[in-house]
């Protein structure tokens, strides 16, 4: 009988995620499963919480990986914090800001938005004016907008909200592990990420952290969290304290993978990891520009881990991606929404951000485009 797994090729993952996975993480994923209440597994859980706190620069007790992909982290933040008619402001400059708006609206929040041109960052002064006009329970923004390659001014928006009772909610799916996040200093109250970007794990877990302010909002809800699976007040009984209570069966081996991926980042040193991302981003941009290509985003707002490149006039962008995948075993991403057909999205996430990968892609693009 054919086994489809035998046909899986070694693809260089240079798209918007998933990213390349280190062999040590694959080895970790293949270790024997143990029980989700085994005291040894609880030690691994505690180590993951501590490592996530280090990477996020936070003291928050409620810092855990949610079961599910990045979107489960997004849902978890909103579903635990939003009650019907709560005023929420979502800052939008790409697909994932739009997804936040959708999630908050489905929960019955009164959602206002501030929208910015795709490929440009959120403008801090516009946020300042908006929050002076109306009080919001939550202000939400995406740190690294994967659909465009734009870095949003998360620290500056946090500074506007300091001292207020507004909850500051940040999407760090693409940024965590690839650029600095200073959760406590930046005044972030709720944050979520995903394993398959700069943490260089396969998809499957969503690191999440809540400040005391966010926990208080959860504890003081007038109504029950309307989703049993994502209710953090229930989930914390499994992740905290001397006696751990079953909530759902934790995806054991994914936690092994995340544990190992975090170890790799902490061993290299987070600052070195961020510098490596930035260095190979500059190398890639230099190489792309030498090929006559231009970047979508202005230099000051470019993400190191997600590079949006304009497709030159007359080039069939899908054909280029398909040749790269078929003949060169390299995956890059297409544009989304208004940028479909107009850009390629080249990821340099986590373990992918290495010289050999930059060189291999530039060589393949050169052979293909000209
Ligand atoms: C910024 C951002 N937020 C949220 C998500 C959703 O994560 P997932 O696809 O893992 O559910 C993604 C995925 O690409 C993302 O890039």
Q: Is 203 in the pocket of ligand 1 (CB under 6 A)?
A: yes
Supply the pLDDT for residue 242: 87
- 154 burial type by CB count under 10 A (0-12 exposed, 13-18 middle, 19+ buried): buried
Same domain, 221 and 173: yes
Same domain, 243 and 351: no
Mapped onto helix, strand or coil, the DSSP state of residue 228 is coil
The CB-based long-range contact list for 220-224 (8 Å cut-off, 24+ gap) reads: 221/83, 222/83, 223/83, 223/84
Listed residue (74, 250, 243) closest to 173, CA to CA = 74
Mutation test of ligand 1: which of 16, 19, 93, 96 has the most ligand atoms closer than 8 Å to its C-beta? 96
Supply the pLDDT for residue 369: 80
**Cα 195 to middle of ligand 1, angstroms:** 10
Same domain, 235 and 318: no
Q: Is 78 in the pocket of ligand 1 (CB under 6 A)?
A: no
**Cα 367 to middle of ligand 1, angstroms:** 32
Q: Across residues 118-137, what is the average pLDDT?
A: 98
Instruction: Please answer whether residues 172 and 140 qualify as being in contact, where contact means their C-beta atoms are separated by less than 8 angstroms.
Output: no
Same domain, 126 and 254: yes
Q: What is the mean pLDDT of the chain?
A: 97
pLDDT at residue 73 tops 90: yes
Same domain, 55 and 201: yes
pLDDT at residue 287 tops 80: yes
pLDDT at residue 120 tops 80: yes
**Cα 95 to middle of ligand 1, angstroms:** 9
Supply the pLDDT for residue 258: 99
Listed residue (204, 183, 223) closest to 85, CA to CA = 223
Supply the pLDDT for residue 179: 98
Q: Is 19 in the pocket of ligand 1 (CB under 6 A)?
A: no
Give whole-number Cα distances, 363 to 9, 16, 175, 355, in Å. Answer: 20, 20, 27, 12
Q: Is 100 in the pocket of ligand 1 (CB under 6 A)?
A: no
Same domain, 184 and 313: no
Q: Across residues 182-208, what is the average pLDDT?
A: 98
Listed residue (147, 197, 204, 149) closest to 172, CA to CA = 197
Q: Is 174 in the pocket of ligand 1 (CB under 6 A)?
A: yes
DSSP string, 128-168: HHHHHHS--SEEEEESEETTTTEEP-HHHHHHHHTTSS-EE
Q: Across residues 255-278, what is the average pLDDT?
A: 98
Mapped onto helix, strand or coil, the DSSP state of residue 112 is strand
Q: Across residues 236-254, what is the average pLDDT?
A: 95
Same domain, 83 and 208: yes
- Ligand 1: which atom is nearest the Cα of residue 74? 4
Q: How confident is the model at residue 370 (pLDDT cuts 50, 70, 90)?
A: low
Q: Is 93 in the pocket of ligand 1 (CB under 6 A)?
A: no
Residue that finishes a domain, picked among 223, 250, 266:
266
Same domain, 307 and 217: no
Q: How confident is the model at residue 4 (pLDDT cuts 50, 70, 90)?
A: very high
Same domain, 226 and 301: no
Please tell me whether the peptide bond between 18 and the residue prior to it is cis, using omega within 30 degrees of 0. yes
Mapped onto helix, strand or coil, the DSSP state of residue 45 is helix
Q: Is 15 in the pocket of ligand 1 (CB under 6 A)?
A: no
DSSP string, 345-362: EEE--GGG-SHHHHHHHH
Q: How confident is the model at residue 49 (pLDDT cuts 50, 70, 90)?
A: very high
Mutation test of ligand 1: which of 173, 200, 336 has the most ligand atoms closer than 8 Å to its C-beta? 173
Residue 67 pairs with which residues in a beta bridge?
205
Same domain, 276 and 238: no
- Ligand 1: which atom is nearest the Cα of residue 71? 11
Q: Across residues 168-187, what is the average pLDDT?
A: 98
Domain containing residue 149: CATH number: 3.40.640.10
Q: Across residues 207-223, what is the average pLDDT?
A: 98
Same domain, 283 and 214: no
Q: Is 66 in the pocket of ligand 1 (CB under 6 A)?
A: no
**Cα 96 to middle of ligand 1, angstroms:** 7
For residues 134 and 152, what is the distance between their CA atoms, to the nearest angstrom?
A: 22
Instruction: Please answer whether residues 87 and 137 qualify as being in contact, where contact means their C-beta atoms are separated by less than 8 angstroms.
Output: yes
Residue that finishes a domain, picked among 222, 248, 266:
266
| Residues spanned by the domain of 280 | 4-18+269-369
Name, in order, each residue with C-beta under 8 angstroms of 198's C-beta and a sequence gap of 6 or more: 19, 174, 175, 176, 177, 178, 179, 277, 305, 349, 350
Q: Is 98 in the pocket of ligand 1 (CB under 6 A)?
A: no
Residue that finishes a domain, picked among 266, 296, 328:
266
Q: Is 71 in the pocket of ligand 1 (CB under 6 A)?
A: yes
CA atoms in the 13 A half-sphere facing the CB of 211: 21
Supply the pLDDT for residue 368: 86
Domain containing residue 293: CATH number: 3.90.1150.10
Same domain, 82 and 179: yes
Instruction: Please answer whether residues 167 and 89 qualify as being in contact, where contact means their C-beta atoms are separated by less than 8 angstroms.
Output: no
Supply the pLDDT for residue 356: 98
**Cα 193 to middle of ligand 1, angstroms:** 8
The count of structural domains within the chain is: 2
**Cα 70 to middle of ligand 1, angstroms:** 5
User: Could you tell me what percentage of the chain is helix, strand and coil, using 3-state DSSP and rounding each to the nearest 5?
Assistant: 45, 15, 40
Give whole-number Cα distances, 222 to 84, 107, 365, in Å. Answer: 10, 14, 56
Q: How confident is the model at residue 306 (pLDDT cuts 50, 70, 90)?
A: very high
């Amino acid at each position: 009988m054919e086994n489809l797994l035998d046909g899986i090729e070694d693809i260089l993952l240079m798209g918007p995620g998933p990213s390349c996975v280190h062999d040590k993480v694959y080895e970790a994923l293949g270790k024997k499963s143990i029980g989700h209440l085994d005291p040894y597994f609880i030690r691994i859980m505690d180590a993951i919480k501590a490592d996530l706190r280090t990477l996020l620069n936070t003291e928050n007790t409620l810092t855990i990986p949610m079961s599910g992909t990045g979107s489960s982290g997004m849902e978890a933040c909103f579903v635990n914090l939003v009650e019907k008619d709560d005023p929420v402001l979502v800052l939008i400059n790409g697909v994932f800001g739009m997804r936040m708006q959708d999630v908050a609206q489905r929960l019955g929040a009164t959602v206002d938005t501030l929208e910015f041109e795709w490929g440009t960052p959120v403008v801090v002064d516009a946020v300042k004016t908006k929050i002076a006009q109306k009080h919001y329970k939550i202000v939400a923004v995406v740190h690294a907008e994967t659909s465009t390659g734009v870095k949003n001014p998360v620290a500056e928006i946090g500074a506007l909200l300091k001292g207020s009772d507004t909850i500051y909610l940040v999407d760090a799916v693409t940024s965590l592990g690839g650029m600095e996040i200073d959760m406590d200093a930046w005044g972030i109250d709720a944050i979520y990420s995903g394993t398959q970007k700069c943490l260089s794990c396969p998809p499957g877990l969503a690191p999440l952290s809540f400040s005391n302010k966010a926990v208080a909002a959860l504890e003081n809800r007038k109504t029950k969290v309307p989703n049993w699976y994502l209710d953090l007040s229930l989930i914390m009984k499994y992740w905290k304290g001397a006696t751990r209570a079953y909530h759902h069966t934790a995806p054991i081996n994914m936690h092994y993978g995340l544990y190992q991926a975090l170890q790799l980042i902490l061993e290299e040193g987070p600052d070195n990891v961020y510098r490596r991302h930035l260095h190979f981003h500059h190398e890639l941009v230099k190489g792309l520009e030498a090929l006559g290509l231009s970047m979508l985003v202005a230099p000051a707002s470019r993400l190191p881990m997600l590079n949006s490149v304009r497709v030159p006039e007359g080039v069939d962008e899908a054909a280029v991606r398909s040749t790269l995948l078929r003949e060169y075993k390299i995956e890059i991403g297409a544009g989304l929404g208004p940028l479909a057909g107009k850009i390629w999205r080249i990821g340099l996430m986590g373990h992918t951000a290495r010289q050999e990968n930059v060189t291999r892609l530039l060589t393949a693009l050169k052979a293909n485009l000209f």
